[in-house]
Amino acid sequence: MARSPADRRALAPDMLTAREAKAEHDALGAEIAEHDRRYHGEDAPIISDADYDALRRRFEAIEARFPDLTAEVSDARGVGARPSEKFAKVRHRVPMLSLGNVFSPDEVEEFVDRVRRFLDWPADRVLAFTAEPKIDGLSCSLRYEAGRLVVAATRGDGEEGEDVTVNVRTIGEVPQVLAGEGIPPVLEVRGEVYMTKPDFAAMNARQEAEGKPLFANPRNAAAGSLRQLDSRITAARPLRFFAYAWGEVQGSMPAPTQSGMVAAFARLGLPTNPLMRRCESTADMLAHYRAIEEQRASLPYDIDGVVYKVDDLDLQRRLGFVSRSPRWAAAHKFPAEKATTLLLGIDIQVGRTGSLTPVARLQPVTVGGVVVTNATLHNEDEIARRDIRIGDTVVVQRAGDVIPQILGHVAEKRPAGAQPYAFPTLCPACGSHAVREIDPKTGKEDVVRRCTGGLVCPAQAVERLKHFASRNALDIEGLGDKQIETFYRDGLITRPQDIFTLEARDARSLKRLKDREGYGETSTRNLFAAIAARRNVALHRLIFALGIRHVGETTGKLLARHFRSMEALRDTAVAASETGSPALAELTAIDGIGPVVAESIVDFFGEPHNREVVAELLEHVTPEPPEEVASESPVAGKTVVFTGSLEKMTREEAKAMAERLGAKVASSVSKKTDLVVAGPGAGSKLAAAQALGIQTLDEDGWLELVGGAAG
């Protein structure tokens, strides 16, 4: 009998079969990549640092037991997340890598022993390390040329970051011009942008007084402040910087050691951490770790561990790198802090995609110097597995000082009559069915229960409206996130079809638009013109705009090509819900539409209110069917990936051309990829294609291949 994913994760890697290991490795890789995107790309983590570390350690342990899996392409081996499209890109001359983690004195000993073995360094010979606090902020690189700051960039995915030069120039601690002598012609300084606890508290107090949303913690506040499109907002935020590393250096190195380089940074006018210390033994390293841990609560900034680095730079160069981390450095993470309190209730929050997330309502308790009143319970299976009941005394952990979580309950303190928690099967926001999807391959239920209310669920409404008007959906110019939030709050737009009736409504609504929302005559006229321009829209855009779970841009195009009208898609989906209907087979027979996607489409159109929204939309919008696909082209039926910069056409034009020629355009490289078109700046995708032996072409080669078919 096949073991479930939960059962597999309970086993040591050496107890897994090769097939089980691959399945878990693939699942972990996808999960880690998603958490990287949320943490580094959106500054919005949904799990604690400790949970993330556990996922990555499990991933690496499986690879250690099954080395063949390391040959597979996985986003989990990346660093950070892809840089946002909102900012210009900066290519790092020297990659910005992350650190491997250790969690106990024994693991610190193992780390030092590995370094000695690699260097063939005898046990009686001093091997010095630096030890410094691990600041919980946002990694940033500062490039100085002739002593002047010319570019500042975030880490991004380690290879390419976001250009935040204008914003960094507003940070008072960052010198625009380096001081002193012996400055290399090019010096790329790396460090952490952060916010102190007192500054964070004062800023949140101002936010509260002004009726604005509060920030979750100093790390998210610092990251969000640095990544503002308006540098005036960044300038108003109390950001600080610590320098502790470097990238490209042209000319002589200022010092031959790690500690010497940091001292040189201080002489040049860069802020450095005074708690960094040089240690000549493992005992010294652990003693400094304990000393910093004791000071943790009283430090003015958040830290989550201590970083050890081999001090001698020549030894660092000899040690080099392994995978995503340097061999010569490690982060010794602090253990999570815990406390006990009463579970007063369980609230259900409905997310943007309809996910029902249980949140524990707690009797306030201080954990790690912060008052905690709520904690995540993850999902209904976790509640059942840990047998959490309302009224329990529970153990709360604030791992990584980010998201509190419930570890379990204190059995002897359970009140008499406490009942197991019954997870709701109806959405608490709109009353629609909340379902757990079935994986057709395993027959197992998804761990997340989701509302099927879609477009009419108020908990999802604002985010779905943003998606509906977004660039790759309806692309309504002038109807951005802030405008939608305001219009929804004031009742002007609550459903997608309201967008197209805005101009035709009574004068009172228009007066509110002009007076309350700050729209003048010109901006109001421009908004109405932009809305009118989208009354004729490509069918695939309208399908994508509906926000059906699992239906992205590519799937929207597949559905548009097959059905060629919204009515045909709707009628087939409705018919597919009937037992024995051939309509479901028609959906799943479409290349690229599997059982999971088909079920999402059927569930969406199975809700009467979703059909009502679509019907009303079709009264105002005319979907245009796609162009006929060229079935005789040289790329018909092939999967194509575009990467790097294209110089003769935009990325959207290239995708449209490929799809018109019958190709399927994918965003990532896999064994199913047939062709990769790589422009200047192509990075990991090109490397993955070469490793897998996939055909690669430059832009000219692509145009030559498709030739006359492209016309």
Interacting residues of 202 by C-beta distance below 8 A, sequence separation 6+? 238
Amino acid sitting at position 580: G
Is residue 671 packed enough to be buried (19+ CB in 10 Å), middle (13-18) or exposed (0-12)? exposed
- Catalytic, 89? Answer no
Terminal alpha carbon distance of the chain: 55
- Cα 22 from Cα 17, distance rounded (Å): 9
Return the structure tokens found at 418: 């406490």
Scored b (16 or more CB within 10 A) or e, 271-298 reads bbbeebbbbeebeebbebbeebbeebee
Count other C-beta atoms under 10 Å from residue 323's C-beta: 13
Q: In sequence order, what are the beta bridge partners of 249?
A: 187
- Cα 66 from Cα 58, distance rounded (Å): 12
For 61-115, the DSSP string reads HHHHHSGGGGGS--GGGS-S-PPPTTS-EEE-SS------EE-SHHHHHHHHHHH
Q: What angle do CA 339, 340, 342 make, to 5 degrees?
A: 140
Q: Which of 86, 134, 212, 333 is catalytic?
A: 134
Do 256 and 191 touch, CB atoms closer than 8 A? Answer: no
Q: Tokens 């305001």 — which residue? A: 486
Amino acid sitting at position 497: Q
Do 118 and 327 touch, CB atoms closer than 8 A? Answer: yes
Q: Tokens 């995978």 — which residue? A: 323
- From residue 466, give the alpha-carbon distance in Å to each of 323, 343, 469, 509: 38, 35, 5, 21
Count other C-beta atoms under 10 Å from residue 410's C-beta: 11
Please list the active-site residues. Answer: 134
